[in-house]
Amino acid sequence: MLNIVLFGPPGAGKGTQSEKLIAEYHLVHLSTGDIFRANIKGETELGKLAKSYMDKGELVPDQVTIQMLELEVVKHSGPKGFIFDGFPRTTAQAQALDAFLASRNTGISCMLALEVDEEELKKRLLLRGKDSGRADDQNPEIIANRIAVYQRDTAPLKSYYEQQGKYRGVQGVGSIDEIFASLCNQINSL
Ligand code: ADP
């Protein structure tokens, strides 16, 4: 299986590139942010819980997020692989994902990281807030908190995957097609 962790700070372009990657490699796209938003829309218990964290730019607790992700993975029978988008976001999530995939006789092929500087991220998120109406993209303080949470909890995952020899960084600034080509180069050289 080809199991990719697509990594990068909020606004790095993970959603955009995921769509192109799933089409190219016939993978299943699992975005924890999208799944939470679908639950919020459907007014489920999980949605209510997730919203209370997302509105502040905080992470949804690990236990809830991990369980939700595992339930999504098992829904798919015989996939070529998965793109994990927005997951894992903490070391505990990464460890749980490794253990879970190992129990299914598979594992992570690589982490593809979109590298984008902070000024560019803030610009993109505010722009997306205008277009998408996502509440967490409209308030500069919440955006700053998401980036701070990213630096504190999520950025350490770079070394987690580096230690496994699985980290592949890609320049996340440029045209969508250029960035996509760089990601494909990394995958094709695995
Ligand atoms: P972005 O990458 O732009 O922050 P996402 O759609 O991936 O957007 O996530 C939106 C919000 O959903 C996050 O700020 C967080 O509150 C919650 N979330 C998404 N994925 C996770 C995760 N793996 N663990 C905890 N919270 C998550």
CATH number of the domain that 165 lies in? 3.40.50.300
Burial class (CB in 10 A: 0-12, 13-18, 19+), 165: exposed
Average pLDDT over residues 40-56: 97
- Residue 121 belongs to what domain range? 2-188
Ligand 1 pocket, mutate which of 34, 66, 89, 149 (most atoms under 8 A from CB): 89
Q: Is residue 89 within 6 Å of ligand 1 at its C-beta? A: yes
Total Cβ atoms within 10 A of residue 103? 9
Cα 55 to averaged position of ligand 1 atoms, centre (Å):
10
Q: What sign for the dihedral angle of Cα 161, 163, 168, 169?
A: positive
Burial class (CB in 10 A: 0-12, 13-18, 19+), 141: exposed
Burial class (CB within 10 angstroms; exposed 0-12, middle 13-18, buried 19+) of 121: buried
From the CA of 137, give the closest atom in ligand 1.
3
Spacing, Cα 59 to ligand 1 middle (Å): 6
Q: Which band of pLDDT confidence, cut at 50, 70 and 90, is reported for residue 74?
A: very high
Nearest to 66 by CA among 90, 47, 42: 90
Amino acid letter, 178: E
- pTM tops 0.85, yes or no: yes
pLDDT of residue 87: 98
Domain count, the chain: 1
Structure tokens given for 133: 């109406």
Average pLDDT, the chain: 96
147 lines ligand 1 (CB under 6 A): no
Q: Average the pLDDT over 52-77 and give the result.
A: 97
| Res 67 pLDDT > 90 | yes
pLDDT of residue 132: 83
What end-to-end distance do the CA atoms of the chain give, in Å?
12
Spatial CA neighbour of 32 closest among 128, 103, 96, 104: 96
CA-nearest residue, atom 19 of ligand 1 = 33
Where is average pLDDT lowest: 100-104, 120-124, 159-163, 170-174? 120-124
> What was the pLDDT predicted at 66?
98
* Confidence band of 186 (pLDDT split at 50, 70, 90): very high
Question: Tens of pLDDT along 80-92?
Answer: 999 999 999 999 9
CA–CA gap between residue 56 and residue 58 (Å, rounded) = 5
Known catalytic membership, residue 146: yes
pLDDT tens for 96-130 read 999 999 999 999 999 999 999 989 998 999 999 88
Does any ligand 1 atom lie closer than 6 A to the CB of residue 172?
Answer: no
Active site residue 48: no
Q: Where are the alpha helices (DSSP H) in 62-167?
A: 62-73, 91-103, 118-132, 140-149, 157-163
